[in-house]
Structure 1
Amino acid sequence: MTPAGGLTRRTLLRAAAVGAAATAAGCGGGTRSIQVAVVWSGSELERFQKVVDAYRAPAPVRVVSAGNDIDAFLRARHLAGTSPDVAILSRPGLVTEYAAKGWLRPVRPSVEYAVPIGLGDLLMAKGQRYGLWVKAAHKSLIWHLPSMLPEPPTSWDELVSLTRRLGALARDGGPAPLAIGAADGWVLTDWFENVLADLAPTAYDALAASEGDWQGRAVRDALDRLAELWSIDGAFPGGGKRALLTQYEESVIQVVRSRRAVMVFEADFTAEVVGRFRGGTEEPVTFRFPSAGAGSGALIVGGDVAVAFDHDRGGLELVEWLTRADSFAPWLQAGGYLSPNTTIALTEYDDPVRRQLAREMRGPDTLHFDLSDQLPGAFTGSDGVGIWRIMQDFFADVTGGVPARRAIDDATAQLAAAARDAGSDR
């Protein structure tokens, strides 16, 4: 993600070139293509292309990958007058922001579309719906190999005790208890969000609505709980400084291939990394992020949403089609896909693990959408900016010997200041 206003010359040139190429392609073929800008790349991009290949329309669909900087990409395209017809965004905050600017058209789902309570409301502005969920992510999972961890912890206290025990063994040459890709700030915000939603769900929702107190007791308690775990000696391969240089994919490899660590926390999309880098034949398994109390704790979800820009009806019709129960069937069958659409039968998931994850997202648990993806402006985070950087600073402090209270004071002050700055920029 790129902060608002952070349009680099490279982004402008790339977006302009893509827009010019798409226009030329449309004119040359006699029929203007429907242009779709997406956040996906690699296998995800290939699978989405197979999805839209099944779309039957007079105009062909052309998919462009903008990557994680899709906000900057779309702003540049808007300035150049070459906005795509449709975009797939991972941040609901962008949907309401673009709608307020008048860039988007209201959208209507198919009759085969329904999502868990609360998710649809995130995409409303001025009483109208400006986006529709097309992909979901289950973000409350910890991955491990059964041979490395036969009995997973069932509570936060058990996780802390296990980390202390394995950390002591790691100092004698054993694997570290936890791998963590702290070089990617979003990994740390995902940790924070799971703990905060478990301890104080009402405060979590208030912060997401820009109505909470970033220096309040709920945030401080969540950070204190993280400090308790992250500060354990031997918790991470190579220590805290090495973890801050470790990217997300490498942290997964440390568990499923090199076995330098026992557990790694992250979403269901970790399965894609496992598939590429797993060593041997042993399949990793997951358990839910542990709660401070009884039960399975909070469930954090992320997702991707389709929006239509202010062009002709081609984009609106494609967005509606993407919400049909069978539209993403090619991706669902290929694997690596969770649907937010609750009208899709669970039996459509051939993979029993992914079927269980889909079931959990439809269960009685209260879902909480990824907090950092709901924050306004630069506060939402990107490399070296916003809540990502603040959480990296906090991680560096607590793994580097700074007393927890001082680290929490510094982090909450930074969070409150970033929230004020984001509010003044609105």
Structure 2
Amino acid sequence: MRLTRHRRWLAPAAVAAAVGLALTACTGDIANEEAGDVDCGPYEEYGTFDGAEVTVGGTILDLEADRLVESWADFETCTGITVDYQGSSEFEAQIAVLAEGGNAPDVGIVPQPGLMNRLAAGGWLIPASEPVEANTDEFWSEDWKTYGTGTADGVFYGAPLMASIKGYVWYSPAEFEEKGYEIPKTLDELTELSETIAAEGDHKPWCVGLESGDATGWPGTDWVEDYMLRLHGADVYDQWVAHEIPFNDPQVAEAFDAVGEYLKNEEMVNGGIGDVSTLVTEAFQTGGLPILDGECSLHHQASFYETFWNPEGGDANTVASDGTVFGFLLPPENADDPLSVTGGGEIVVAFREAEEVEAFRHYLSSDTWANNRVGLGGVISANKGVDPEVASSELLVQSIEILQDPETTFRFDGSDLMPGAVGADSFWKGIVSWVGGQSTPQVLDTIEASWPAS
């Protein structure tokens, strides 16, 4: 799961050049706010600090970064802590290099439990404080707490932050109504719908973007993970992620081939963009936008994609069942199968031990922060203290309710849980090679060979 998402954590110029970071500064108008304009009651438990600063790094960029900064503006005003966020699309690739060189930010918003475990194994992370852990126990399920706990040492390093539900299929409600399309209830019905759209000849059914800088290919892994869960169930999914079955197991091949019926099929993709080869050159942020121009009908992407329908931050395109665009969950194999979804999120880790750092992490683990951020729009959280009704769209309200429903079978994004050599490397690259023409056995054998021996 990933979101292409502002300072003192920057290395000196020579080091930054060596690691090739391309960073975008993002600061708020907090200095212009008067504490008297803010209700500081909800922030009293975090204490007050004189001139303290906390630097933060992550993958969150652009509009989402602006909203992130806004979400802690009152915290800054009331505590006196200046929070300096810097986002980078290269964060995942470079954070270990920065940590090893002593140049990591105070706080990292890490989008992969596998990466968190790598950082923990390097000895660079500070265990979470008692208040952070107490909030996690109160507001998050045990599964979510596990994602912030080191697999090797059992130490709790950080609380979850935001979340997403993968496997939404975005579409135009107006087109569905005009052409009499129905929301598919099974994977076979999704195939039938896709074939119907293709046969009509107006446009290709699906539009896809897999490009994401060093992480190009990750949206394709989301497809495979959704099919693994739906075709083979949660137990097999867990075995796959934990390497209790090999990556080239026939069940994995079946999921790849099912996805290939769309992604490797010239009749199915790439509507409004080009042929199959354009999947790996089209940015994931823009991959679904041909729906708005009637040049494709379907786009597979997570709940967080809501933000990209209005790239300038306006409200021209509404996300609603009767709006410009909406989404349905990728259906199950059988109509009566229980609701199973994949999803992702971030873990808030610390590289510096300081009271102001833990005060900030304490706030980010709270229901106060979660409601503030969700209310700003475009995202959800699995924090049980979130009121679903503060979400910015009908789809995101639904997504929060799904995460809070104890009957939902939820599984974290598989590539994010796998060792970095696989989940953030060979799996992503394998998707690119596979879409480019390599066979399923070739790709799966290569990924299996990359799995670390221990």
Shorter-chain TM-score: which interval? Answer: 0.7 to 0.9
Contact 2:210 2:220 in 1 (8 A): yes
Q: What is the match of residue 300 of structure 1? A: 342
Q: CA deviation at 1:15?
A: 9.2
Secondary structure of the 2:162 match is strand
**Alpha carbons of structure 1 residues 213 and 72: separation in structure 2 relative to 1, 3 Å:** closer
Q: For residues 17 and 265 of structure 1, do their structure 2 counterparts lie closer, same or farther at Cα, with a shift above 3 Å needed?
A: closer
Query: Identity over the aligned pairs, expressed in percent?
Result: 20
User: Which residue does the alignment assign to 1:339?
Assistant: 381
Aligned-partner SS, 1:299: strand
Spell out the pairing of 1:250-329 with structure 2 (5 A cutoff): 250-256=286-292, 258-276=293-311, 282-294=323-335, 295=337, 297-329=339-371
**Partner Cα separation in structure 1 for residue 20 and residue 253 of structure 2:** 43
Q: Cα 1:10–1:212, aligned 2, differ >3 Å: closer, same or farther?
A: farther
Equivalent AA in structure 1 for residue 296 of structure 2: A
Give 2:148's aligned residue.
123
For the 8 Å contact 2:107–2:352, the answer to whether it is kept is no
Q: TM-score, normalised by structure 1?
A: 0.84
In structure 2, C-alpha distance between the alignment counterparts of 1:88 and 1:268, rounded to whole Å: 19
Secondary structure (helix, strand or coil) at the match of 2:79 reads coil
SS at match of 2:402: helix
Q: Which amino acid aligns with 1:101?
A: G
Letter in 2 for 1:134: L
1:52 corresponds, among 66, 72, 84, to: 72
**Cα distance in 2 for residues equivalent to 1:415 and 1:158:** 31
1:369 aligned residue (412, 426, 430): 412
SS in 1 for 2:205: strand
Per-residue CA deviations over 1:222-259 (Å, capped at 9, x if unaligned) read 12222334454521123312333322233211112x22
Deviations 1:309-356 (Å, cap 9, x if unpaired)? 242222122111111111243322221120120122333335332111
Provide closer, same or farther for how the CA distance between residues 416 and 94 of structure 1 changes in structure 2, counting only shifts above 3 A.
same
String of CA shifts for 1:67-96, please: whole Å, max 9, x gaps.
Answer: 232134423432442332211110111222
Partner of 1:175: 203
Establish whether residue 97 from structure 1 lines up as the match of residue 118 from structure 2: yes
- 1:203-224 Cα offsets, whole Å, 9 max, x none, are 2212222332112122022122
What does residue 62 of structure 1 align with? 84
On the 8 A contact 2:22/2:89 being kept in 1, the answer is: no
Deviation of 1:358 after TM superposition, in Å, equals 0.3
Counterpart check, 1:162 vs 2:193:
yes
**Contact 2:158–2:348 (CA under 8 A) maintained in structure 1:** yes
Correspondence for 2:280: 244
Equivalents in 1 of 2:433, 2:24: separation in Å?
Answer: 37
Work out whether residues 222 and 413 of structure 2, in 8 Å CA contact, stay in contact via their aligned partners in 1. Answer: yes
Change beyond 3 A, Cα 1:239–1:192: same
The SS at the match of 1:83 is coil
Q: Which residue of 2 aligns with 1:387?
A: 427
Partners of 2:222 and 2:327 in 1: CA distance: 16
Q: 1:303 to 1:191 in 2, by over 3 A?
A: same
In the alignment, is the contact (CA less than 8 A) between 2:217 and 2:432 conserved in 1? yes
Amino acid of the residue matched to residue 154 of structure 1? Answer: K
Tell me, in whole angstroms, the C-alpha distance in 1 between the residues paired with 2:410 and 2:50: 46
Q: Which amino acid aligns with 1:416?
A: E
Equivalenced residue count is 391
Q: Distance in 1 between matches of 2:304 and 2:277?
A: 26
Q: How far apart are 1:182 and its partner, in Å?
A: 3.3
Question: Does 1:145 pair with 2:176?
Answer: no
Match of 2:108 in 1: 87
Measure the CA separation in 2 of the matches of 1:210 and 1:141.
26
C-alpha separation in 2, matches of 1:53 and 1:348: 18
Q: What is the aligned-residue RMSD (CA, Å)?
A: 2.8
Alignment-derived partner of residue 26 in structure 1 = none
CA change 1:92–1:37 in 2 (3 A) is: same
Q: Find the counterpart in structure 1 of residue 400 from structure 2.
A: 358
Q: Are 1:16 and 1:77, in contact at CA under 8 Å, matched by a contact in 2?
A: no
Evaluate the alpha carbon distance shift between residue 40 and residue 34 of structure 1 in structure 2; reply closer, same or farther with a 3 A threshold.
Answer: same
Equivalence for 2:46: none
Please report the TM-score for the alignment, with normalisation by the length of structure 2: 0.79
Shift of 1:32: 4.3
Q: Which amino acid aligns with 1:192?
A: V
Partner residue in 2 for 1:12: 19
Seen in structure 2, the aligned counterparts of structure 1 residues 410 and 135 have a Cα distance that, compared at 3 Å, is same
Q: Look up the equivalent residue of 1:181 and give its one-letter code.
A: G
Q: Distance between the aligned counterparts of 2:418 and 2:249, measured in 1? A: 17
Structure 2, unmatched stretches of 5+, are 3-13, 26-48
Provide closer, same or farther for how the CA distance between residues 85 and 244 of structure 1 changes in structure 2, counting only shifts above 3 A: closer
Distance in 1, matches of 2:134 and 2:298, equals 40
Aligned to 1:197: 229
